[in-house]
Structure 1
């Protein structure tokens, strides 16, 4: 599989990574998905301490412990919880991040994390303190690089200006093109976008829109009504008729130079294989890319701009 360099780093990741959130908690099933991903050329795994309250990190740690040196391992922190208590709360403090990383390292059965990400963030946070925590962890050799997972323009702007982040993770698909506002400026700063949700909850796969869940049928998806989804999906599929819907969706995201990787989730091995297969073969032409942009909306984030 083709590899890309994340930001201004020496991390070379497979174009398709594995978003581990949807692995589930059945250990053997989850391990089989991770094992297959690694066998098929994925070297980039993305988890978070919050996923299943640490269980996801434990499963990923078990899966990679014998081949840790082959893996680019990413996890996240900032959502704090207490064992045995429901729910969590936001805590981007230096003290908590430096405490959370120790627990993640133990669960992941490793002594370093390749990419440590802030799992959210608000403009009201003490961003300087958070950055200081990540910089100290780098100096200590506990993490190699750091990034953020955020869709908030004001937060992204502050971290791009004040820190040495190499990545910003954002939901990005043909049905959610809001990140495109930021692609050129992030690329200029040497920051890569990690695209989660590239298949828009399955709306951009081969599954017909008519099989979408009741909520989407009633309320649509983001700014798309259900009827708009039906028409837009048909327009997408006719743009490159020799490609599957999944291929078109994934190749569109990877056509953006600022994108370091796409990280679709997979709850079954068959989904994983389809995701990996979708990036092989020919690329989209410039004409096809222009058509896809014509048929889909380019919305922008209207909140969190001040």
Structure 2
């Protein structure tokens, strides 16, 4: 498994990261998947305090016990659960971030977080206060680096201009190429992108046609467009899963694809796709048959 620098910071991450949100709640099953990931060379694990009201962090902390020094651990903050119901409100204030990091550390059973990410962001936030919170945590040694998880161009631009983030997590796939508008400028600024949703809810796997018929559409694609494009992608490469991963990883700004799995078998499929050869001509052909949309909202 190849490892890549995360921006110009101090972290090196595996090109395939593991998205922990998909882990089953059963501890033994989760352990089996985490073990498979580490054995296969995955060093980058991503969770969030939002997932299952913090229980996912607990699950991850237990599964990674004893191997902390071998992995890069990322989590996120900013979504505040109401203790009395399932409502979530956005909170990017400094006091909240400084308080919540200790809860995440406890659940993860660690004394530091490698990558602490703002789990969203709005243009109405006091960005300077939020940035100051992350900088304070970095000085304390509670986090090594920080980043954001956002697809909003106005939020991304503000953090690129005003902060020392090393990474931006964005949804990016052959069926959602909107980030391509910003990848060059993100890379030139010395930051990396880590991706989520690169398999487009399973559409960009070898089960894609079945899923397309059930989903009815995806983003700007109608059901008929999905099936038509999927057939074209299958003609380009007989493993759409591999084509989808390498189409994203080809861009030098992308450091890692964060992929989930609910079983060791699912994870093995992704790893096999990562290991499969995909020619540059095939990647070029895949881009020609997919849409290059841009973000319509949150631009100013």
| Aligned match of 1:230 | 227
> 2:208 and 2:242 mapped to 1: Cα distance?
15
SS of equivalent residue, structure 1 residue 278: helix
For structure 1, list consecutive stretches of 5 or more residues without a partner in the other structure.
none
The whole-number CA distance in structure 1 between the counterparts of 2:190 and 2:150 is 17
Equivalent residue, structure 2, for 1:304: 298
CA distance in 1, matches of 2:58, 2:32: 14
Given that residues 17 and 43 in structure 1 are in contact (C-alpha distance below 8 angstroms), is that contact kept between their aligned partners in structure 2? yes
Any conservation in 2 of the 1:252–1:284 contact (CA below 8 Å)? no
Please report how far the alpha carbon of residue 201 of structure 1 lies from its aligned counterpart in structure 2 after TM superposition: 0.3
Rounded to whole Å, the distance in 2 between the matches of 1:255 and 1:208 is 22
**Following the alignment from structure 1 to structure 2, what is the Cα–Cα distance between the partners of residues 213 and 139?**
51
| Deviation at residue 138 of structure 1 after TM alignment | 0.3
Query: What is the rounded CA distance, in whole Å, between the counterparts of 2:161 and 2:211 in structure 1?
Result: 43
Which SS does the other structure have where 2:144 is aligned?
strand
Shift of 1:26: 1.7
CA contact (8 A) 1:251 1:284 kept: no
1:257 corresponds to which residue? 252
Query: Residue in 2 aligned with 1:205?
Result: 205
Q: How many residues align?
A: 300
For residues 203 and 302 of structure 1, what CA distance do their matches in structure 2 show?
23
Aligned pair 1:246/2:236, yes or no? no
Deviation at 1:213, TM superposition (A): 6.3
CA distance in 1, matches of 2:278, 2:3: 15
Aligned equivalent of 1:150? 150
Alpha-carbon distance in structure 2 between the residues aligned to 1:151 and 1:211? 25
Q: How is 1:67-82 mapped onto 2 (pairs within 5 angstroms)?
A: 67-82=67-82
2:19 counterpart residue number: 19
**Residue 101 of structure 1 aligns to a residue in which SS?**
helix
The secondary structure found in structure 2 opposite 1:200 is coil
Matches within 5 A, 1:18-37: 18-37=18-37
Cα distance in 2 between the residues matched to 1:201 and 1:227 = 17
Cα shift readout 1:93-121 (whole Å, capped 9, x = no counterpart): 00000001000000000000000000000
CA distance in 2, matches of 1:259, 1:32: 28
Counterpart of 2:127 in structure 1 is 127
Cα RMSD for the two superposed structures:
1.1
Question: For the residues of structure 1 that align with 2:139 and 2:260, how far apart are their CA atoms?
Answer: 32
Per-residue deviation, 1:276: 1.2
Deviations 1:241-268 (A, max 9, x none): 4xx1101110111111000100111111
Provide closer, same or farther for how the CA distance between residues 213 and 32 of structure 1 changes in structure 2, counting only shifts above 3 A: farther
Q: How does 1:172-211 map to 2 (within 5 A)?
A: 172-211=172-211
Matches of 1:234 and 1:77, distance apart in 2: 40
* 3-state SS of paired residue (1:148): strand
Structure 1 partner of 2:272 = 277
Displacement after TM superposition at 1:173 (Å): 0.4
Checking the alignment, whether the CA contact within 8 Å between 1:176 and 1:299 is kept in structure 2 is yes
Whether the 8 Å CA contact 1:255–1:284 is kept in 2: the answer is no
By how many angstroms is 1:208 displaced? 4.0
Distance, in Å, in 2 between the alignment partners of 1:180 and 1:256 is 9
TM-score by length of 1: 0.96
CA distance in 1, matches of 2:140, 2:45: 23
